[in-house]
Amino acid sequence: MALRNIVVEGDEILTKKCREVVKFDDRLAELIDDMIETMRDAEGVGIAAPQVGILRQVCVIEPEPGYVTELINPVIIEQEGEQEGYEGCLSVPGYIGCVKRPMKIKVRAQNRTGGLETFEFEGFDAVAASHEMDHLQGILYTSKATDVHKPAPPEEDGAEEANE
Ligand code: CO
């Protein structure tokens, strides 16, 4: 496993649509393992392949430590409700912004060996998954957000914003 460089806003790779994964091989497994390591190193709760310079439909989320979900070629097949909250992005370091997201989504995706799975995400998990899936379409949260700003330094008892 290896850390990969995180691409930041301004690089046009972040605005491109990712291609479908068709080969479920060791190279894909290595990419996913590297993405997880890179996300954790940067203290993020999610990361998408274009953020490490790869235009393929691969993203991972870890909304709670140890609970990683890997999504290959993910598609939202149902969504319900709405929520609004602040989020950040590893590719837009130092900023947060307020985004409207579905409260609940059902996602069909493949796993790292190509098997088809269905996931339901709700609340913060739905925010993380839809934020990462937007990256696969070349969409940064800043294009949907209001009130994008640099947050004040964290309080001592420090609720931290999530980085995706
Ligand atoms: Co992001």
How many whole angstroms from 51 Cα to the centroid of ligand 1? Answer: 8
So what's the pLDDT on residue 161? 63
So what's the pLDDT on residue 156? 65
Q: Spell out the domain ranges in the chain.
A: 12-153
How many whole angstroms from 155 Cα to the centroid of ligand 1? Answer: 24
So what's the pLDDT on residue 164? 80
Per-residue pLDDT of the chain (164 residues; tens, 9 = 90+): 899 999 999 999 999 999 999 999 999 999 999 999 999 999 999 999 999 999 999 999 999 999 999 999 999 999 999 999 999 999 999 999 999 999 999 999 999 999 999 999 999 999 999 999 999 999 999 999 999 999 987 666 655 567 88
* 15-32 pLDDT, tens digit each: 999 999 999 999 999 999
- What pTM was computed for the model? 0.93
Neighbours of 16 (CB within 10 A): 13
How many whole angstroms from 164 Cα to the centroid of ligand 1? Answer: 4
Set 78, 132, 155, 161: catalytic member: 132
How many whole angstroms from 67 Cα to the centroid of ligand 1? Answer: 18
Please give the CATH number for the structural domain made up of 12-153: 3.90.45.10
Edge to edge, the sheet with strand 58-61 lists: 46-48, 58-61, 69-80, 104-110, 116-122
By C-alpha distance, which of 83, 85, 70 is closest to 129?
70
Residue 12 catalytic? no
